[in-house]
């Protein structure tokens, strides 16, 4: 019986593929990734679960009342599911579409739900007068502190991993 040796190049290629697979599929979990809309630089990564929600709240620039947009992670996609506001103004929904519903809260808030709209390019420009605040997984994150005023922040879903030196990269 003859024993064949495994070629060295094949062994190295196999090892590289194995490390890549571990980084992409085993080590990394799903994250909501925040990147600079101009440079693509990763600004933050926040763990999330499939069907998990996160929100972005801010003060409306025209009517100066709070607005909260709520999103749901579905696979690698982000869907807007509801929005809450206290007053009408530019960009605030004034009519209901099929399948949407309006609830008036005891505090006077108006919450519209039933959007089920995929957001292919979700981004916000962080306020210069008032902050944009993200809530995710029980955390409250000031986008002004994290990203800086007037930064265009793009939201996406992906994986991340850490390389030597602690630098974080989006994953596969």
Q: What is the mean pLDDT of each run of 10 residues along the chain (172 residues)?
A: 61 54 54 94 94 95 90 96 87 81 93 91 92 95 95 93 48 39
Rounded to 10 degrees, the C-alpha dihedral 25/31/36/41 comes to: -30
pLDDT tens column, 126-141: 998 889 999 999 999 9
Q: What is the largest CA-CA distance in the chain?
A: 84
Give pLDDT, residue 92: 74
Tally of CA atoms within 13 A in the half-sphere of 121 that contains its CB: 4
Look up residue 42 and give its two tokens. Answer: 């990763």
Rounded-to-integer distance, Cα 154 and Cα 51, Å: 20
Q: Domains in the chain: how many in total? A: 1
How long a stretch of residues is the chain? Answer: 172
| pTM confidence score | 0.77
In a domain, 144, yes or no: yes
In a domain, 123, yes or no: yes
In a domain, 101, yes or no: yes
Residues near 137 by beta carbon (within 8 Å), at least 6 away in sequence: 46, 47, 48, 52, 54
In a domain, 9, yes or no: no
Q: Which domain holds residue 41?
A: 29-170
Rounded-to-integer distance, Cα 91 and Cα 138, Å: 28
Residue 2 DSSP symbol: P
In a domain, 48, yes or no: yes
Give pLDDT, residue 61: 81
């Amino acid at each position: 019986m003859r024993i064949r040796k495994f070629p060295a190049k094949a062994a190295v290629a196999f090892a590289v593929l194995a490390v890549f697979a571990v980084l992409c599929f085993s080590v990394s979990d799903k994250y909501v990734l925040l990147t600079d809309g101009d440079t693509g630089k990763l600004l933050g990564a926040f763990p999330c679960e499939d069907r998990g929600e996160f929100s972005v709240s801010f003060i409306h620039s025209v009517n100066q009342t709070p607005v909260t947009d709520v999103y749901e992670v579905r696979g690698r996609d982000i869907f807007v599911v509801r929005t809450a506001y206290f007053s009408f103004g530019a960009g605030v929904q004034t009519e209901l579409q099929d399948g949407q519903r309006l609830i008036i809260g005891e505090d006077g808030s108006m919450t519209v739900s039933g959007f089920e709209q995929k957001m292919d390019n979700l981004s916000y420009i962080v306020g210069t007068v008032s902050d944009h605040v993200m809530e995710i997984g029980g955390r409250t994150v000031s986008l002004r502190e994290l990203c800086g005023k007037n930064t265009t922040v793009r939201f996406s879903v992906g994986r991340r991993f850490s390389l030597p030196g602690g630098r974080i990269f989006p994953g596969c």
